[in-house]
Amino acid sequence: MSDLTRNVAAYLETAGFGTFGTDIFVGQIPSDTNGIYIVDAGGSLNNYVPIVETVLDIFVKDIKAETGKAKLNNIKNFMHRMHNTTIDDSYIYTFLVIGDIEDIQRDVEYGKIYKITLQVVHRDTTLIS
């Protein structure tokens, strides 16, 4: 079964935004680490076809606010309205950034955190419908 968060992490790694497990993470970022982390925020299934709409939150944490915001802006510009691509076992119909970059807060380590929300319309290529 497809794990879209890991597939999007691999997509960002391939595009040169970082390395999975070093500065690109799924679910939670380790303490004292600047980087990107991706969280599954929900979605919906289509009743009759294997197409899924998933909403992901992509966070960037950096001690320097301007560096983190610039990195997330580059990710946003790279992914927004991308379509028709295969990442591992997910066929992506579209990526669509919902809204704009959100200024979240500083964490307990004083790292600045920014977020974008990404809508992904996709299907798992390992499933037969």
Domain boundaries, the chain: 4-124
Stated pTM of the model: 0.88
44 CB burial (10 A radius; 0-12, 13-18, 19+): exposed
What's 64's DSSP letter?
Answer: S
pLDDT of residue 128: 67
Higher pLDDT, 11 or 44: 11
Residues 82-112 pLDDT 10s: 888 888 888 999 999 999 999 988 776 678 8
Residues 15-62 pLDDT 10s: 999 999 999 999 888 888 899 999 998 877 666 678 889 999 999 999
Q: How confident is the model at residue 1 (pLDDT cuts 50, 70, 90)?
A: very low
- CATH topology (fold) of 4-124: STM4215-like (3.30.2000)
| CA 93 to chain centroid | 15
